[in-house]
Each structure stands twice: as structure tokens, then as C-alpha cells.
Amino acid sequence: MGATNAASINTTRGGDPPISLFLMVNTFETGGSERQFTLLAQNIGAPAFQLHLGCVSHRGPLAAHFGDVPQFPLGGSLFGWKSLRTRLNLSRHLRHHQVQVAHAFDFYANLTLIPAARFARVPVVIGSHRQLGDLMTPAQFRAQAAAFRWCDAVVCNSQAAANRLIATGLAPDKIAVIGNALPPEAFTAAPAALPKRPGVLRVGMVARMSHRYKNHSGFLRIAAQIHRNIAHQRTPDTEFVLVGDGPLRQQLENEASSLGLGASAIFLGDRQDMPAVLASLDVAVLTSDSESLSNVILEAMAADLPVVAYSVGGNSELVNDQRGALVAAGNETDFANAIQSLLSDAHLREHQGSNARRFVEENFSLDRVRSRYEDLYLTLLEKKGRRKPTA
């Protein structure tokens, strides 16, 4: 979509006055939280909302979708004088725009917006928990959990993430589980970025090469097991595609070479044409050690691909034996066997891929997820007596 002056988007078309809604994100990088923020900000429905946006830092390529979004920088510390002044400025900003619903989308936005919104007496304050929490430091997790107690609701994108908050003592009725949204283009057929080769199948993993928990090394070891079976003619010819880039890439390329994968390991780097990349694959995999609700799995399913993943976090809420295979965490032999079962059975791939697409169409389409956010905002306002009940 083209650039939008989204610092304030008035969607009024008559009837009730629009709800003044403020959404805040840390940055406009291309992570999962930022992409979900962008989708909602671009598509929140008229005529109910007048939309205002804010960020901690304006950096990142997704900023091109918007105009000059106000920044509320923390100055390198969550609790320094600059961050306190920032929260006071943010409170004034919220009061100026008479914000009725304030919703933070990620960790730094939570710790910036939630106290500022409470100080500004915003009627409805919402935080977000879009990971399991195991990648935070204990101090970060405690600080965010404390902030969540000031919220009217906390949005989690998986039941696994919700359960982690409930275990810390957050009331279950404060939690709303709303999955990630898929844009319409995720379901649109695209020509393959890598033309199909007769007699050759492809297994692909999409993940930024910036963090060890994504476990690219495990994927390469699994690929090496399958590659050895190809040599013994127990598995169809297979290429292993790694999509993504980052500081670990050179090391991973060296690992692929040392494992003897040779030309069968294809490093594509960062790609913006994800539907075309996924159209090049026959099986999608994710070997991450930690996931809340994986956008990669959702996008692969929307592209009619069966998915093999470890049973961690929210993966079990997406993957089962009707849509791929869920493998006990760390069991690389079973992971390789699950991939090989799919490679050896075209009917199974087609059946599970079709089931996967139908599942995400029914549960994670943009329209469905957007309506769940809108219902949440309206319901919380009604509880506060700030909005008439919807018909």
C-alpha cells in the first residue's frame, strides 16, 4: 500500500462520533509485531475510529507506509529522566487528542504507553504480549508483567503466550487471545521465484539469521540427514532453501559446506516476494526453539504448504497431523523422518497443504482478525460506560 499520513486518520462517515484510537509500536522494522501493527493501522475499519499512531523510534522500512508518526524516544533507558519526560509528553499528546483507547504493540511500547495512558486517564488501556517471554531477561519480564496489571486487557497472539502470563498471576479475564492477521496477498497464487525442476523437491525455512533461537543450524543438520538418504536413493532429490539474512549468514553457509550439502543448500537472502518464494517450495519447516504464533507458519499454510515444526510455544495451535507434522523439541531424527514422509508422498503433501490453507483462511484472515480487535475495543469501552452497546 502507498504511504499514508497516519499520525491521525479520521474514519468518520456519520452516525456516532468516531472512537479516538491510539496505536503505538517500538519501531518500523520488519519483525512480526511491527508487521501486525502495520496491517491493523492500515485497515482498522471506518466509520468507527479516528486513528492516531505513535512510536518509540521511527526507524525501519515499514515507516514508508505512513507519514510523520510522532516519536516518543526513551533515551536509552526505561527509567531515566528522558524516558520520564517522554511519558509526560505522551500523556499530553493523548489528552490533546482525547484518546479513548490506547493500545501498545510490543515490549518498549508497553512500558512507554501504559503508564502514560493511565496518567492521562485514557478510559481503555491495552498492552500486548506477542512472545512467550523466555527471550526476555527476568527483569524485563517482571517490569512488563507489572505494567500489564495497569491494563484493561492484554492481547496475546497465542494461548501459549497467554498461559505464561496467567502463570505470573495476571487474571485470565484480562487476556484476549487474538491471532496474527494474514493480508489478502498471502492467499494469492504467485509464479515461483525459483522455477520448479523436474524430479527435484524443495524444503524451505524462512527466518532472519540474527538469533540462535531460530535454530538454522538444526535445520542444516536435519537437511544433512536427508541428503545422506538421497545419496542412498531412499529419498527424492531435494534442495534445501534458507530465506533470510543477518549476521549469522556466513557462519551458516560454512556449516552447510562442512555438512556436505554443497549446491543442495540454497541461501536466498532477504526477500520481499514471499508468496513467490513459498510457491517455489514443496514443504515448509520451522526449527525455532521459541515461538508464540509464527507468521512464517501462517504464510506457508496460506500458500498450500504442509509444515513441519517443533512442538514449542504456539506451534501446536497451528500444526497437527492434518496440516503437517509436529515434532518433539530437539528430536532431529524424527524431524528428518517427518520431512521425508512428505517428500515421498505427493498425495499427502497436497492433502495437508489444502487443509492448512483452509485452516488459516477460516481463522487468520485480515477481516476476521481486524473485527476481533474492533470488538475488543468496543466491548471494553462499553464496560466503562463510554460507548453505547453495539446492536
* pLDDT at residue number 251: 97
175-177 β-sheet, strand order: 8-10, 49-55, 19-25, 101-104, 124-129, 153-156, 175-177
- Regarding whether 153 and 25 lie in a shared domain, the answer is yes
Domain membership of residue 390 (yes or no) is no
- Regarding whether 346 and 373 lie in a shared domain, the answer is no
* pLDDT at residue number 157: 95
* pLDDT at residue number 32: 84
* pLDDT at residue number 80: 80
Give me the CATH number covering residue 294. 3.40.50.2000
* pLDDT at residue number 4: 46
- Regarding whether 372 and 317 lie in a shared domain, the answer is no
- Regarding whether 124 and 79 lie in a shared domain, the answer is yes
Domain membership of residue 2 (yes or no) is no
Domain membership of residue 144 (yes or no) is yes
Helices in the chain by DSSP H: which ranges?
32-43, 81-96, 107-119, 138-148, 159-167, 216-231, 249-258, 274-278, 295-302, 332-343, 346-363, 366-383
Q: Which domain holds residue 377?
A: 8-181+365-383
Using CA of residue 162, residue 168, residue 170, residue 173, what is the dihedral sign?
Answer: positive
- Regarding whether 205 and 163 lie in a shared domain, the answer is no
- Regarding whether 338 and 203 lie in a shared domain, the answer is yes
- Regarding whether 359 and 370 lie in a shared domain, the answer is no
Domain membership of residue 40 (yes or no) is yes
- Regarding whether 139 and 240 lie in a shared domain, the answer is no
* pLDDT at residue number 16: 75
Q: What is the pLDDT of residues 224-266, one digit of tens each?
A: 999 998 877 777 899 999 999 999 999 999 999 999 999 999 9
- Regarding whether 118 and 31 lie in a shared domain, the answer is yes
Residues 6 or more apart from 53 whose CB is under 8 A from it? 6, 7, 22, 23, 24, 25, 41, 66, 69, 70
Domain membership of residue 118 (yes or no) is yes
pLDDT along the chain (391 residues), means of 10: 46 68 94 91 88 94 92 84 92 97 96 97 97 86 93 96 93 96 94 93 95 95 93 83 96 97 95 94 96 94 98 96 97 97 97 98 96 96 74 43
Quick check: helix, strand or coil at residue 327? strand
Quick check: helix, strand or coil at residue 324? strand
* pLDDT at residue number 386: 67
Domain membership of residue 3 (yes or no) is no
- Regarding whether 205 and 97 lie in a shared domain, the answer is no
- Regarding whether 201 and 113 lie in a shared domain, the answer is no
Match 504467485 to its residue by C-alpha cell.
190
Distance CA 227, CA 231 (A): 6
Domain membership of residue 252 (yes or no) is yes
This prediction has a pTM of 0.88
Match 529419498 to its residue by C-alpha cell.
235
Q: How many domains does the structure of the chain reveal?
A: 2
- Regarding whether 72 and 193 lie in a shared domain, the answer is no
Domain membership of residue 339 (yes or no) is yes
